[in-house]
Structure 1
Amino acid sequence: MGGKIITVGAIKGGVGKTTLALNIAIARALAGRDVWLIDADRQDTASTALAIRGEAGRQPAIATAHYPDGSQLRTQLRHQRGKFEDIIIDAGGRDSTALRAALVLSDLVLVPFQPRSLDVWAVADIAALIEEARALNPELQALAVLNLADPAGTDNDDAAAAVADYPALQYLNTPIRRRKSVANAAGNGLSVLEQTPRDEKAIMELNTLMQSIF
């Protein structure tokens, strides 16, 4: 079967990485894809969210596993990758063996960042890791997306312009804005595509991002 492997990764925590990974994985499952979400973060948040989803009997079900160790992630991914159409890896929050392993094995890394100076500086660190990974995985595509973006103001534009300083990354002009509906959905193991009441703006932003990735 063997499909696309996408890592949602960041060096800095608090950038909405897990929420974004959940939304991408569920969106693909809703589109009829056979999806595996690998939680490679020691905090185990994505796995917990999907356990809540499973307990609620929500469909489609999403296969998940927790591999925070790089060696274990590498072994399991190589062994099982052919069973799924899409594999989404939630990795990072820090420089870890799991993040490094994921970068070497992925087709695409999506780097979320907030419109804050510390977040933009952290992009430099993961850009360096991406360059290292390309020595072993030269086809690795790397996209940066503004996540938890401000509803208005110049900070979003300033942050996007700063990412242009890192040629290892391509900036996607598909910002995901900070919305209560997104956080509430993720807390219940849901995508904003499933949440009620519907947040049409959040749904449009996610769909635009998905079209850019896939």
Structure 2
Amino acid sequence: MILTVGNTKGGVGKTTLAFQIAIARALAGRDVWLIDADRQGTAAAAVSARAESGRSPGISCAHYPDGPTLRAQVQQQRGKWEEIVIDAGGRDSTALRAALVLSDVLLVPFAPRSFDVWALEDMAKLIDEARSIRDGLVAYAVLNQADPGSRSDDNEEAAQAVAAFPQFVYLPTPVRRRKAFANACGAGLCVSELTPKDSKAIAELESVISSLFTIQKQ
């Protein structure tokens, strides 16, 4: 399975989510390749921090911010891995477009802010283009960096806005703004490895992963 976590809108927490998913799957015993397709290289830096700390399991990571290179490398090496997670986006790039054509699943994190919701329209157009080239891309939208309260008008309105875009399936598993995610990524850790543990952050990540991979097995 190839999963891309991407959005043309920056600041939605896609790198955090991609890194957390990749490490969590590696901890679950899966053979995972994380590809950093963002020029900033934040995901690759988090993997380096993990390697320097000697944490196990380690995780393989490559930095391919160029679309043609990303496409060629994934096509050549996809058979070596059980799962590939691509961190792409922050803008409309050749890497994001290449990732969409290569992927089985797209996860689009968006924050409960008007500009983030509007950016879903841009992603919807890219999804249509990718599907015109390759059938089978499944796209999910998930509310990320959601307001901490269990009930929030902003969160609910943002979720309802996804319904305007038939290209997406909305995952009702919001991930809220929690220091645990930033702290874990900075240390190259999954939130489940962080001490002290944030049980809510762990549960939110597990819910997203369970939804994604359970859906794909059906």
TM-score (norm 1): 0.98
The answer to which structure has the higher helix fraction is 2
How far apart, CA to CA, are the structure 2 residues paired with 1:56 and 1:144?
Answer: 33
Counterpart residue type for residue 158 of structure 1: E
- Structure 2 counterparts to residues 43-192 of structure 1, below 5 A: 43-152=40-149, 153-192=152-191
Instruction: Return structure 1 stretches of 4+ with deviation > 3 angstroms.
Output: none
- Larger strand percent: 1
Where does structure 1 lack aligned partners over 5 or more consecutive residues?
none
What amino acid sits opposite 1:155 in the alignment? D
Secondary structure in 2 matching 1:145: strand
Residues 11-45 of structure 1 show CA distances to partners (whole Å, capped at 9, x for unaligned) of: 01100000000010001000000100000000000
Deviation of 1:191 (Å): 1.1
CA distance in 1, matches of 2:32, 2:133: 25
- Deviation digits for residues 32-62 of structure 1 (CA, Å, limit 9, x no counterpart): 0010000000000000010010011011101
Partners of 1:138 and 1:125 lie apart in 2 by: 19
Whole-angstrom CA distance in 1 between matches of 2:134 and 2:175: 28
Deviation for aligned residue 1:136: 1.3
Amino acid at match of 1:213: L
Letter in 2 for 1:197: P
Q: What do you get for the CA RMSD once the two structures are aligned?
A: 0.5
Deviations 1:83-120 (A, max 9, x none): 01000000000000000000000000000000000000
Report the AA paired with residue 14 of structure 1: G
Where 1:148 maps in the other structure, the secondary structure is coil
Amino acid at match of 1:11: T
- Three-state SS of the structure 1 residue aligned to 2:192 is coil
Q: What TM-score do you get using the length of structure 2 for normalisation?
A: 0.96
Distance in 2 (alpha carbons) for counterparts of 1:190 and 1:122: 29
Q: Could you list the runs of 5+ residues in structure 2 that have no partner in the other structure?
A: 214-218
Matches within 5 A, 1:194-209: 194-209=193-208
Q: Counterpart of 2:208 in structure 1: which amino acid?
A: L
**2:183, 2:124 → 1: CA distance?**
31
